Amino acid sequence: MRVARGVRGAIVFAAGVLTGAAALAWGAGPPRMSAEVLLNIVTDELRWARTNVRVNLDTWEPGSETGSHRHPGPAILYVLEGELEETSASGARTLTAGQVVWNGGGLLHNVRNRTERSARVLALHLDPGR
């Protein structure tokens, strides 16, 4: 069975439109924060008998936040782009592009993007071995 060239083109066009609409609908929802793990190793070279070393590329979309949480070991944060607000028991501080921050282990904190731009942070976590 042969399909006319114009009909075949219309079918391909319609399929593309439907695929694009489905992709847009699937991507809709509340802003989210994501973390891309760049390195995750366990080493015996640090203070603890074993240390879980994890490097993340964390991304906050506008309006997103981590929620209150704590890490068992210290973390070093390097703000690559954007601006974030970190709140803890000691108050709020603004983290800006180019800034490096040390957070001691066990610090209860929340990180939030209050701006209209995405923000990215390279985060190095040093957690006692598991």
What pTM, to 2 d.p., does this model score? 0.67
CATH of 33-128 given 3.50.50.60, 2.60.40.420, 2.60.120.10, 2.70.98.10: 2.60.120.10
pLDDT tens for the chain, residues 1 to 130: 454 555 555 555 555 545 555 555 556 678 888 888 877 878 776 776 788 999 999 999 999 999 999 999 999 999 999 999 999 999 999 999 999 988 989 999 999 999 999 999 999 999 987 6
One-character DSSP codes across 64-102: -B--SB--SS-EEEEEEESEEEEEETTEEEEEETT-EEE
Token digits of residue 30: 């509340």
